[in-house]
Chains A and B, each alone.
Chain A
Amino acid sequence: MIHITIHDKACRGCQLCLDICPTNVFTFDAAAAKATVAHEEDCIGCLSCSYLCPSGAFRHEEHRIVKNFYRDCEFLSRMEKFL
């Protein structure tokens, strides 16, 4: 399962992560004015929160990074028929 950490001091409470997340992983702690992780198990690993966060407050672990397949030699060798 993907593990998400929000750096407490970095989060400015802008809620952009809440707006972008398609599976509502985050909630907003109004008292602390910060985003918190509520349903980590729902994270699909799209990394949109991480890309969007102005403070770079997110850290994802155990997620799969999609490779640039066109740089992968093994995959390239299978692509001939498409060219």
Chain B
Amino acid sequence: MPELLEQREQLQATMTFLGAIASGIEQAIGESANSISYLAGKRLGMQFSEHAPKTDDIEEALSFVGKVLQENDCLWQFEPFKVHNRPGVISHSEQGDEVMLVFRECMIRQSLFKFGHHQKGSLCNMMYGFFSGALKNIMGKESSLEILHAGENGCYKRLVVFKKS
């Protein structure tokens, strides 16, 4: 138990440190902080999904991304969500396929709360990067993950998987 308590202290200190870095980097370099977080997430996504199965099906690809996160002990659970006035979970446009995602557990959100930093900042781009990297490996396509709403108990995001050019 003392070991676990020590680990808890370490984790909480790391989370606070993460929040402090995000806060500091945003003040120091402004919007460029988003790119740094994005690239860090993308690298992680590509690394973790290196051996993930390949598919062209977006729903299957999302389940693979979820599995990759779970296997690597990343607390970033998400689920596709359909509101009443949308015909299906996936909608198709000229750009590509679009899916709305709800994120409940999120390591980043909790780190930001722990430090007292605002949401929708640079660190949130890490998830955008992660999806971008993982989907590039799994589907071979580019994607974007836009934060529509960052809530206290969940976030709502729009994932677009672009058509191959």
Chain A residues with a Cβ under 8 A of chain B: 20, 22-24, 39, 41-42, 44-48, 51, 63-71, 73, 75-83
Contact = CB atoms under 8 A, between A and B. Distances in A.
Interface stretch (B35-43, B122-130, B134-142, B144-152): B144-152
Given A51-B152, A69-B110, 15 more contacts: A23-B83, A23-B156, A39-B84, A42-B84, A45-B102, A47-B154, A48-B151, A64-B104, A64-B153, A67-B105, A70-B12, A70-B110, A76-B7, A77-B7, A82-B14
Given A44-B81, A46-B149, A48-B152, A66 B105 contact: yes
A64 B152 CA distance: 12
Given A42-B83, A42-B84, A73-B4, A47 B153 contact: yes
A58 to B, nearest CB: 12
Interface of B: 4, 7-8, 10-12, 14-15, 73, 75, 81, 83-84, 102, 104-107, 109-110, 114, 148-149, 151-156
A contact face: mostly helix, strand, loop, or mixed: loop
Contacts, number: 82
